[in-house]
Structure 1
């Protein structure tokens, strides 16, 4: 069961590392990566399996979720509806978490 989960996660990662980010010019990115040979960026690209040089969706890592979480926390201070959800306890927090996940995508 655990082995199948790990294999499934690896397959999803490998497939996701080939899905490019929309709006990224592949030729310019390839030129930039070529200029960075031997630097820390090249090493990070190697550790990500080349996902950085392909500008894949999974190369973003956890940053979109962190950004969405920060935005939702800021909105909760300005928006009365989100502030009310925040005061509701666990049920409201689950809704805010759901909204954060939607904002991540």
Structure 2
């Protein structure tokens, strides 16, 4: 498998782990519930470990922008669907800018790999 493709697959895994960790953060009720709190720690630890592996192949600035940007989008969706948290128009516009930024970097940037 192509090294870049492998890095992007690992990045996707890191994003999923981070988003799950954030969802469990809500369920942990301020770290007052043991199981969700442990799941937060496991998910975040796994996410950061995998993210550290991705930075061996891809530029850290691009990796972090994609990881955080896509994480924000998925976390907002989980907040909406799982926790009934709504976003106002400026928040949605901001998320739209995040999507645009991630797309611009991936489609036009020459700094993706080391």
Same-fold status (TM-score > 0.5):
no
TM-score, normalised relative to structure 1 = 0.26
TM-score, normalised relative to structure 2 = 0.24
Higher relative contact order, structure no. (Cα contacts within 8 Å, ≥ 6 residues apart): 2
* Larger-gyration structure (1/2): 1
More helix by share: 2
